[in-house]
Amino acid sequence: MNSRGVVNRDLLIHDSNRRTGPTLAIIAVIVNIITVPIGIALWEKVFQQGNAAAAFGFVFPLIGLLALIWAGRKILRLLFHGSTTFELVGGKGTIGGTLKGTVSNSRKSKPFDALVARLLCKRKVRTGSADSSSTHTTAIWEGSREVSRGRANLREGVSIEIAIPGTLPESDDSDADSIVFWELLVEAPVRPINFLAQFRVPVFRKQSG
């Protein structure tokens, strides 16, 4: 991705819950179909046959359970809060400038007590060979601001503007082994599950001339 691929007009971005929630749920179910029988077999070995060493195998059913919980939370957010959009002014954030836009949700007519926006710059690095590769993601920078208190009505749209320091790297996926990407998180503490909308946003340097 580079700045030539982003035109100078507003860009509408949908939050990741709508896209990743159902996909993660399907993956979590498949993982549990595989790991639950393993857990049942291990239970017999550990507690009926007294094979204590086999207890280490419970890590696989645990992974399946955690995957199901993670997917379940995304599905619950989608059911309770619906889909949220972010209209990014100018089609991108600017290094040394700002990321500016409007967050909207057609369901949210009742104002939140507090709504916080967090902008993160992250680097995802892949190491190792194809057969034994691993991926590690680190946060390079984070900026946040409280958007409003008691007036955050997402049905009407809430404006967000976060300053971006000029020393940070721009969005870059030209090297598959070292990707820089930017995420906008919009959060509010509510019951029964906190509101959280996640957006992958393009951020580039201002073009000269």
pLDDT of residue 134 exceeding 50: yes
Asked whether 183 and 122 are in contact (CB, 8 A), the reply is yes
Q: Is 3-15+82-205 a CATH 3.90.1170.50 domain?
A: no
Residue 3 has a pLDDT of: 46
Domain ranges of the chain: 3-15+82-205, 21-79
Q: Lowest-confidence range among 46-55, 70-79, 164-173?
A: 46-55
What's the pLDDT tens digit per position in 86-116? 999 999 999 999 999 999 988 876 777 788 9
From the list 68, 98, 100, 103, the residue with the least C-alpha distance to 196 is 103
pTM, two decimal places:
0.72
Q: Strands of 178-188's sheet, edge to edge? A: 134-152, 112-127, 178-188, 195-201
Give me the pLDDT at residue 37, please: 75
